[in-house]
Amino acid sequence: DTCEAVYYNAYKDGKMAGRISGILQRSSNEKWGQKRVRFTRFDVIDDFEVAKALLETVEAWARQKGMDTVCGPLGFSDLEREGLLIEGFDQPSTFEESYNYDYYQSFIERLGYSKEVDWTESQIRAPKDPESLEEMEKMASFVMKRYKLHFGEARNARDFLKKYSDGLFEVLDKSYDKIYGTVPFTDGMKKLMIDNFNLIIDTDHSAVILDENDRVVCLGLCFPAIAEPVKKSGGRLTPLALVRILRLLKHPKTIDLALIGVDPEYLNRGVSAVFAWELAKMLQAPGVEYADTNLNLEDNYAIQNLWKRFDERKNKRRRSYLKKLV
């Protein structure tokens, strides 16, 4: 809704050798006071000259648009796949992530790009110590009572979104306002998210916390990991893949953490402890092995400290790069 984009393919000896897209995200530039173009959807064979041609083509387009910086990989918003994988190439990716080979990092850095931010990802399991679990439960109960909070109820995903979508977006806009790469939600973005979440939200793995006036103050959207059943069909949503997904939704082995948001007014009131306890209960369910956090900025200490309550293993790192053109 707020962008202009270009798409380039690279060919070598008559064969497809790479691709890249450039995005002029006007809303982001206005919000952050920048003159940037983002690069995204970057894929390339193991050939530096092809990578050079692709990135320099986006840089040339950025100059034509009067921009002074190229950054990425970043999509239209932070709700898209973002960041270049630089650690954890042997680890399983979630459905929400993209994969790349290790040579991508070398190519990008040789072309003058340097680190702007890193995200880490973790596999988390419920604490092994019973006393830690008991302490989490007590803290969650205390916070709920002290601030007169309660959980929102819903019959199914459709009912969940009908009741709470407005409050969800309000909390997300507030809690993500200062987060790297974020842009304000447009009506189109909201509709797209609702349509997508309708397919995968499971009320057993998602929660909203409401204040005494039924206003959303915290949310945690999780869903059973669907990467494996999709992988078996070569990334395609075939009828057989859909059957596997539906079966997995009832008996998940792993859980993907999609979105977590806390109203800034409640951030220092311990509300995150309630979400931590709810997640710990999910992780103790029969058959569940672990949860994958997806991307967390390394300097987002609120979320990084949250995972310290669990048995955590950081297993992946992604990076967004920056290059000044003038």
- Asked if residues 26 and 3 have their Cβ atoms less than 8 Å apart, the reply is yes
CA-based diameter of the chain, in Å?
68
Tokens, residue 168: 């969800």
Helix axes 48-64, 103-110, angle to 10 degrees: 50
Q: Which of 184, 204, 177, 144 is nearest to 26 (CA)?
A: 184
For residue 60, give the H/E element and its range: helix 48-64
Q: Which of 69, 53, 60 is nearest to 9 (CA)?
A: 53
Q: How far is it, in rounded angstroms, from Cα 2 to Cα 30?
A: 11
Q: Which of 288, 263, 119 is nearest to 202 (CA)?
A: 288
- Asked if residues 182 and 78 have their Cβ atoms less than 8 Å apart, the reply is yes
Q: Count of alpha carbons within 13 Å of 260, Cβ hemisphere only?
A: 24
3-class secondary-structure state, position 313 = strand
Q: How far is it, in rounded angstroms, from Cα 16 to Cα 69?
A: 28
Amino acid, single-letter form, for residue 128? K
In the chain, DSSP assigns E strands to 3-12, 15-25, 36-44, 69-72, 84-87, 114-125, 150-151, 206-210, 216-224, 254-262, 290-292, 296-297, 311-324
pLDDT at 200: 67
244 Cβ contact partners less than 8 Å away, ≥ 6 residues apart: 229, 232
Angle at alpha carbon of residue 247, lines to 255 and 293, rounded to 5°: 10
Q: How far is it, in rounded angstroms, from Cα 172 to Cα 160?
A: 16
pTM (predicted TM-score)? 0.91
pLDDT at 245: 82
pLDDT at 108: 98
pLDDT at 22: 98
Query: What does each of the 326 residues of the chain score in pLDDT, given as a tens digit?
Result: 899 999 999 999 999 999 999 999 999 999 999 999 999 999 999 999 999 999 999 999 999 999 999 999 999 998 888 999 999 999 988 878 889 999 999 999 999 999 999 999 999 999 988 899 999 999 999 999 999 999 999 888 888 888 888 888 899 888 888 899 888 888 888 888 887 777 667 778 888 999 999 999 998 888 888 888 888 888 888 888 888 888 887 788 899 998 888 998 888 888 988 989 999 999 998 899 999 999 999 999 989 999 999 999 999 999 999 999 98
Q: How far is it, in rounded angstroms, from Cα 121 to Cα 124?
A: 10
Q: How far is it, in rounded angstroms, from Cα 277 to Cα 289?
A: 17
Residue written as token pair 């399991």: 125
Cα of first residue to Cα of last residue in the chain, in angstroms, is 28
